[in-house]
Structure 1
Amino acid sequence: MMIYVCRIELDEITPKIWREFRFHPELTFHQLHHLIQEVMGWGDYHLYEFQVNKKSIGVPDPEMQPFERGTSKELDARKEIVQKHVSMEGANFSYLYDFGDGWEHTITLKSIDMEQSDPVPVCLDGARACPPEDVGGVWGYQHLLEVLGTPDHPEREEMLEWAGEEFDPEHFSVQDTNVLLRQMKDKLIPKPAKGGAGSKKITGDTAGKPAKLTKTALNKHLKQLSNEQLIGLVKDCFGVSKDMEKFLSVRILGEEAAESLFEEYRKKVENEFFPDRGQPKLRLQEAKKAIAEFEKLTGSMKHVFELKLIYVESGVDFTVTYGDIDERFYRSMVSVYADVIGMANEDPMGELLEEYGDRLQKIVTDTEGIGWGFQDALVELHAELDRD
């Protein structure tokens, strides 16, 4: 079996933040994106793009992207296979994550291993922690490190609360990373390996590994259960966790439950900016985690769109209320606004733009006079809306 061994480095950061990892070359670039998110430690909140041999590989529609990348056509990362574009040892290509913060990575194909028999990706080595999401790019991260490294810095307490007391820029665990990779291995191996003819060739040696329930086995088992047994199984699942209760509520009660959950998560987002009690914490990561969690529970594109819109609206209202914040804050707002514009352009029926178009415009209008080039960035993004 052929296995790629690659090194990825985060550009413009010193000392280097890097990882070495191996994976099957028949992954799609979309799968490689998810793999990079795990080995680096990103949160997978934003859009991405690969640049390989002067070709752009990412989201299907280049008009969705907030920044011009100098390419005339973008290939669909969900369809393009890594091996098709990268096949020579020593080859370099780039990976851009988060068009707002602009995290550029350089990836090098160090070697091709013909002896490996396991297609599951493995992290081999690495150094230093990934920067926090929405820190403001290279400049914002350098500022964060400066603040955290200065015990009497006036921003230190605020930054510690934002980044989390547990954040250690020097920490990286290969072992912890590989635990995560094993947990999501089915998503990180070539699609033919998931079943059907030929799958045994790339599944590796599974002797001695813990048994894992597959969708096929689950489906077969469920078909053998009586209605009473199925009801009992669902009841048991309902009591496993709060998230499972929410998930089943949405699946069974439908839109009514989704609306109820939306209000709960809307409050979580708004509370980071305008809490019912106490001072605003502005934990942008917590607000974005709430949005990501809601998306996993419901899969409702419209509600996710509105939560992201509320995130940006809250940021604008916060600035209008309290005055200019900082570049990191506005980069986060721009990044999420870019996601919203992308979702609106992806909507085939144009319903999101029709319903929320006025609010998208109001965000731009309300940012007049705010610093850090905030409104200019939003104006550029708003101009990317596909109104046809």
Structure 2
Amino acid sequence: MLMIYTCKIELDEINPKIWREFQFHPDVTFHQLHEMIQFIMGWDNYHLYEFHVNGRAIGLPDPTFSYMENREVLDARRETVQKHVTKENTVFSYTYDFGDDWRHTVTVVRIDSSTVIDPVPVCLGGARSCPPEDVGGAWAYQHMLEALSTPNHPERAEFTEWLGQEYDAERFSCDEVNVILKKHKNKLIPKSLIQQPELKKPVKLTKSALNKHLKQMSRDELVELVKACYGASKDIEKFLAVKILGDEAVENLFHEYRKKIENEFFPERGHAKLRLQEAKKAISEFERLTGNVKYSLELKLIYVESGVSFTLTYGDIDERFYYSMESMYSDVIKTVNEDETAGLFDQYEDRIRAIVSNTMGIGWGFHHNLHDLYVQLRWI
């Protein structure tokens, strides 16, 4: 006999209501419930989230900055729903994307027992389409709908281009959602109920085995292999572009990743996300794909410069923000010092020094810490 929870979730501050009703096994973790909600609502799972249940915050705590938290955040990957939610009519909240701040209200409508063997979650009903990601929040979403529905609205063309496709705010298909839930069922049911396949010894392709195999292949076979690799993933596509097209591809990638970094601080539309991990990920990806020291240094400088501009524009942020800027600035100093020709120093010293000058008056010891790093440059 399985326990089944029937819940209704509504997106707050939106009228007419965007809602879904769904059933699931309560022994799932809150992280699984998060993924379930993403599929059911129609979000793209781009951002962080947090549940608030009976006064407890449940999300994905970052141990790196746990000393800065003045509250306890329980790990959603370990906390099960039935541990915290045990009664019908319990109401709790789910917030997705701390930038756009999409707040949802979840209500436990009914708790039943079932003889159904398959514990896959099921969507029972709902209304209206989910807002587009990164539209800017509830107010911005309503503004977008108004612009799209007004033929002569000055922003109609801009929103249409930004969406990239026709957006139907009233569209919702329960059947389509259930197909998706079925497809991802192993992510959405309790681990104890997943049928484990028979374990086999993992097969790993070693470098020596790869080298031996490549030597045995004909030229045509090698060409087909490279072409297949090209279509296998975006990273491989970019890597091959760098290897084949050289500097032109590197420069194109530089502009692509520069935009990713700058958009975290000053996006073209909506509020700044300040997803520092995403910006740093862009830098590390560029380094890994290109190995270009100069452009990698440029991206690191852009990261710190954007952070400084952001805090000068909007005021003091927090210690974690400044620590991230200092860490990246330290990487800049290290890279410049490792260049025996002093070429990087000659090219970037003005910008490196300007970062320190521009931070005078910013709190958290930010200016002082950057100055201590700056004086470590070999050639000053």
Same fold (TM over 0.5): yes
Residues 269 and 311 of structure 1 are in contact (CA less than 8 Å); yes or no, is this contact kept in structure 2? no
The residue type paired with residue 102 of structure 1 is D
Please list the CA deviations of residues 108-135 of structure 1 after superposition, one character each: whole Å capped at 9, or x if unmatched: 1111121243211111100000000111
**Structure 1 position 78, deviation (Å):** 0.8
| Equivalent-residue separation in structure 1 for 2:6 and 2:230 (angstroms) | 40
Please list the CA deviations of residues 239-289 of structure 1 after superposition, one character each: whole Å capped at 9, or x if unmatched: 879643667x59xxxx9669779x979958956xxxxxxxxxxxxxxxxxx
- Between 1 and 2, higher relative CO (CA 8 Å, sep ≥ 6) is seen in 1
Residues 5 and 26 of structure 2 are in contact (CA less than 8 Å); yes or no, is this contact kept in structure 1? yes
Residues 311 and 317 of structure 2 are in contact (CA less than 8 Å); yes or no, is this contact kept in structure 1? no
Task: Confirm or deny that 1:244 pairs with 2:232.
Answer: yes
**Structure 1 position 340, deviation (Å):** 3.9
Percent of aligned positions that are identical? 43
| Equivalent-residue separation in structure 2 for 1:386 and 1:20 (angstroms) | 43
Residues 2 and 113 of structure 1 are in contact (CA less than 8 Å); yes or no, is this contact kept in structure 2? yes
Match of 1:372 in 2: none
SS in 1 for 2:89: coil
SS in 1 for 2:51: strand
The residue type paired with residue 118 of structure 1 is D
Residues 47 and 97 of structure 2 are in contact (CA less than 8 Å); yes or no, is this contact kept in structure 1? yes
SS in 1 for 2:5: strand
Task: Confirm or deny that 1:382 pairs with 2:306.
Answer: no
Please list the CA deviations of residues 12-63 of structure 1 after superposition, one character each: whole Å capped at 9, or x if unmatched: 1000000011111111111111111111111111111111111111112388
Q: Which has the larger radius of gyration?
A: 2
The residue type paired with residue 360 of structure 1 is Y
Match of 1:114 in 2: 113
C-alpha distance 137-148 of structure 1, shift in aligned 2 (>3 A): same
The 5 A counterparts of 1:60-139 are 60-61=61-62, 72-115=71-114, 116-139=116-139
Structure 2: runs of 5+ lacking an equivalent: 283-296, 328-380
SS in 2 for 1:87: coil
SS in 2 for 1:244: coil
Instruction: Compute the TM-score of the two structures, normalised by the length of structure 1.
Output: 0.63
SS in 2 for 1:89: coil
The residue type paired with residue 335 of structure 1 is K
The residue type paired with residue 313 of structure 1 is E
Please list the CA deviations of residues 337-384 of structure 1 after superposition, one character each: whole Å capped at 9, or x if unmatched: 35548989xxxxxxxxxx887543310333478xxxxx3278347247
Residues 89 and 111 of structure 1 are in contact (CA less than 8 Å); yes or no, is this contact kept in structure 2? yes
C-alpha distance 166-358 of structure 1, shift in aligned 2 (>3 A): same
Please list the CA deviations of residues 201-239 of structure 1 after superposition, one character each: whole Å capped at 9, or x if unmatched: xxxxxxxxxxxxx6x48x47979xxx9xx999xx99988
SS in 2 for 1:123: strand
Please list the CA deviations of residues 171-224 of structure 1 after superposition, one character each: whole Å capped at 9, or x if unmatched: 11111111111111111111122235xxxxxxxxxxxxxxxxx6x48x47979x
The 5 A counterparts of 1:1-388 are 1-61=2-62, 72-115=71-114, 116-195=116-195, 216=198, 219=200, 243-244=231-232, 267=252, 270=255, 307=257, 310-313=259-262, 329-331=269-271, 334-340=272-278, 358-367=301-310, 375-376=313-314, 379-380=317-318, 382-383=321-322, 385=324
Residues 242 and 250 of structure 2 are in contact (CA less than 8 Å); yes or no, is this contact kept in structure 1? no
| Equivalent-residue separation in structure 2 for 1:246 and 1:48 (angstroms) | 27
Residues 264 and 273 of structure 2 are in contact (CA less than 8 Å); yes or no, is this contact kept in structure 1? no
C-alpha distance 166-260 of structure 1, shift in aligned 2 (>3 A): farther
The residue type paired with residue 337 of structure 1 is R
- Between Structure 1 and Structure 2, how many residues are aligned? 294
Please list the CA deviations of residues 41-96 of structure 1 after superposition, one character each: whole Å capped at 9, or x if unmatched: 1111111111111111111238869xx9x961111111111110111111011111
**Structure 1 position 154, deviation (Å):** 1.2
SS in 1 for 2:171: coil
The residue type paired with residue 309 of structure 2 is D
The residue type paired with residue 150 of structure 2 is T
SS in 1 for 2:36: helix
Structure 1: runs of 5+ lacking an equivalent: 197-213, 272-306, 320-324, 345-354, 370-374
C-alpha distance 6-265 of structure 1, shift in aligned 2 (>3 A): farther
Instruction: Compute the TM-score of the two structures, normalised by the length of structure 2.
Output: 0.64
